[in-house]
Amino acid sequence: MKRSPDLLRLADTVLLPGFTGTTAPDWVRRRLAGGLAGVVLFSRNVDTPAQLAALTSALRAENPEILIGIDEEAGEVTRLEARTGSSRPGNYALGVVDDVDLTERVARGIGRDLRAVGVNIDFAPAADVNSNPDNPVIGLRSFGADPLLVARHTAAWIRGLQSTGVAACAKHFPGHGDTSVDSHHGVPRVTVSREELAEVELWPFRVAIDEGVRSIMTGHLLVTAYDEELPATLSPRVLTGLLREELGFEGLIVTDGIEMAAVSGRYGLGGASAMAVAAGADAVCVGGENADEATYEHIRAAVADAVTEGRLPEERLADAAARVRALTAWQAQAAQPVDDGRDEGGDEGGDDGRDEAGLVAARRAVRVTRHRADGPLPLTAAPHVVELAPETNLAIDKDMPWGAGEPLGKLLPGTTVTRLRQPDVHNGVAGTVLRQAADRPLVVVVRDAHRHPWQTDLLESLLAARPDGVVVEMGLPGRTDLGAVHIATHGAARVCGQAAAEVLAGLA
């Protein structure tokens, strides 16, 4: 099929591909020079701030009006700090603290970091209301289960980030919190009524729109109250009818990763991309897994062919391209970062030279429950720490450092650490751990133990023999009745581990 060059150029304007490597590949630079409007970066593209700044500078040299996006939620989903673990807690910890000024400070620090390295749109914050504690993909990424709390912190996060000139992107519309399926692998269903959706899932997005959020990311969710067949990303009823017309959003609509099985599994990468734009999306994110020129060319051609075949009105494609250009124009004119003097310094800060609001937030999010009057806090000797590490979802870098053992070792030299995954757990493992912890304090670190029976089973076995054991939960705290002392950090970021270690060592 002969494709119009004008249609191909329009298609270039609505695609945000990813790529591999820490330098700009030739195909990306060539496409940018030819009209590609933007790219999305992942942790595989990030080494150091200096390297990332050089990368974005090279990309911008090919297209000065480029959109450069990244998923920097902080906490468990970080790209800037994937190699070290985040110096800021995620949304759930911020929701537990419930200090909107602090949330705004944390987001402003993120915006400063992003602007310094040349990123101008952040696919955050997650505005999902985590009303299902067994949700496999949201969890700690949400501010909480109360829609009003989620809404006020979503607004604060947007204010903080956008004050630096970096566009925020509230996600995952119309709300991924009340689901039990990971859209990376299947199609989550949201079956509540329109009235229930308006009172819970949609409330933070209404507030985000009122706050002036520049973009909103779609969720690959089947929202049966609006569309019983098409996931939200591909549904005109959800994107145009609900988001544009009912909620009045005029900014950029961005898709979640289009290669996720919830949409590409049935319609293919090209088909899903064209359907998303026809439904009302303005930019298509691709490249988390398919990060090559052939994939980009396939999707670009599919979008252009959809226009030629009458499945995608050319006016809709042109409108999408105009909204992309409008966001780049906003970013170019955005104010320089605000410096109000509140983010640096202070008695509660850290020593890494970064914005210190993250450590303040992590410390304030810790909750300690003592079940024995003689509970072993603070620890009087170097402990043996057992960390139970579950598999994480694809949004979280699997090799990102987390836990309390390493920071505790810096405070209590001689601390030893054993990390166990589910395949490591067998009938004799509890005995091995108990021998390693003989005559020493025992600390067991878990992560979403309520969602992983193997963690709970091993934890209960260890505590039956060592009732003086301390439990540190670094996920959602489903049970707080375990251990002589239970410490909930409400996050697994590096800074959350540091805050827990300070409590264990008696420094907090």
Query: What residues are labeled active site?
Result: 184, 256
Strands 485-488 and 367-370: antiparallel
Q: Which residues pair with 384 in a beta bridge?
A: 416, 442
Residue pointed to by tokens 């999707």: 299
DSSP 289-302: S--SHHHHHHHHHH
Burial 87-97 (b: 16+ CB within 10 A, else e): bbbbbbbbbbb
Q: In DSSP terms, which residues pair with 41 in a beta bridge?
A: 70
Structural tokens at position 460: 């209960």
CB 290 within 8 A of CB 30: no
**Pair 489, 472: CB distance under 8 Å:** yes
How many C-beta neighbours within 10 Å does residue 248 have? Answer: 10
Helix, strand, coil proportions of the chain in percent (round to 5)?
45, 15, 45
**What residue spans of 334-452 are helical by DSSP H?**
357-365, 405-411, 429-436
From residue 298, alpha-carbon distances to 48, 207, 224, 272, 293 in Å are 32, 37, 31, 12, 9
Would you state the structure tokens that stand for residue 386, as one six-digit string? 């057992």
Q: In this structure, are residues 472 and 484 in contact, taking their beta carbons and an 8 Å threshold?
A: no
How far the first Cα of the chain sits from its last, in Å, is 68
